[in-house]
Homo-oligomer: A and B are copies of this chain.
Amino acid sequence: MESLRLDNQLCFLLYAASRRMTQLYRPLLDELGLTYPQYLVMLVLWEDERGEGVPVSHVCSRLKLDTGTVTPLLKRLEEHGQVARRRSSGDERVVRVYLTEAGRALEAQAADVPAQLLCQTRSEPERILHWRSELQALLRQLEAASG
């Protein structure tokens, strides 16, 4: 059944490439004491937290993950001292996530992770930009799909 051949499946290529990418990040992130999903949360906070904290829902929507994944992730980051969590005074339903000093300081350490990865994969920067736009288009197409 030709249509079911594993290597013809876009889905498997995405799945394999994504896992492989995570594996390449692992040794670099180990030095920062972060897992890969924790690193993604920190990317969001470094970009969006301006001292006033961001709601849990904001982290969820940026990463397209639900609270069942994000809440325990944030708790582990809190245990490790990278973030703090406080209920918003305005709306008691909302929990705001803050960077601690340590969490903020980690950004400098993480600054050259993307370059190190680029170097490790020996990719031309323009090749990366090409794949980035291809993947952005693919992701848009997938997100437009019903389901």
Contact = CB atoms under 8 A, between A and B. Distances in A.
A22 to B, nearest CB: 7
Output the residue of A20, A62, A120, A136 with the most chain B CB within 10 A. Answer: A20
Contacts of A26: 147
| Interface size band for A | 35 or more
A13 interface: yes
A96 B18 CA distance: 28
A102 interface: no
A123 interface: yes
A134 B131 contact: yes
Interface stretch (A75-83, A86-94, A108-116): A108-116
Contacts of A14: 14, 17-18, 21, 135
